[in-house]
């Protein structure tokens, strides 16, 4: 069993939001692709298409909200640390 050593040597000075941006971008591309598919059919939209579009947009909304929450929490943590540092 590996022991954890909390001596301060594993310091992280920031984090990358590129993964969050990629996930949201992929969900946006998926929704746009579905819209283009519906547009190119030039026929009446089916109930299945409407449900699928609703599901895609709901997923995009959830991902966007999650990303916003992660960045806001990080900002809040950094602001709290900055308040505690200044003397």
What pLDDT score was predicted for residue 60?
Answer: 93
% of the chain with per-residue pLDDT over 70: 82
- 4, part of any domain: no
What mean pLDDT do residues 6-12 have? 66
What pLDDT score was predicted for residue 20?
Answer: 86
- 8, part of any domain: no
φ, ψ of residue 86 in degrees (nearest 5): -70, 140
* Number of folded domains that form the chain: 1
Buried b (16+ CB within 10 A) or exposed e, 25-57: eebeeebeebeeebeeeeeeeeeeeeeebeebe
- 53, part of any domain: yes
State the sign of the Cα–Cα–Cα–Cα dihedral 70, 76, 80, 85: positive
- 30, part of any domain: yes
Q: Is the pLDDT higher at 61 or at 10?
A: 61
Which residue segment(s) compose the domain that 69 sits in?
22-73
- 57, part of any domain: yes
Say if residue 74's pLDDT is above 80: yes
Residue 68 CB neighbour total at 10 angstroms: 12
Please tell me the pTM assigned to this model.
0.68
- 10, part of any domain: no
- 34, part of any domain: yes
């Amino acid at each position: 069993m590996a022991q954890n050593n909390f001596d301060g040597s594993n310091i992280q000075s920031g984090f990358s939001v590129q993964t969050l941006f990629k996930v949201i971008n992929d969900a946006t591309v998926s929704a746009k692709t579905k819209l283009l598919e519906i547009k190119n059919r030039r026929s009446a939209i089916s109930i299945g298409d409407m449900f699928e579009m609703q599901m895609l947009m709901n997923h995009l909304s959830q991902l966007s909200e999650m990303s916003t929450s992660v960045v806001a929490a990080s900002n809040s943590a950094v602001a709290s640390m900055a308040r505690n540092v200044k003397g």
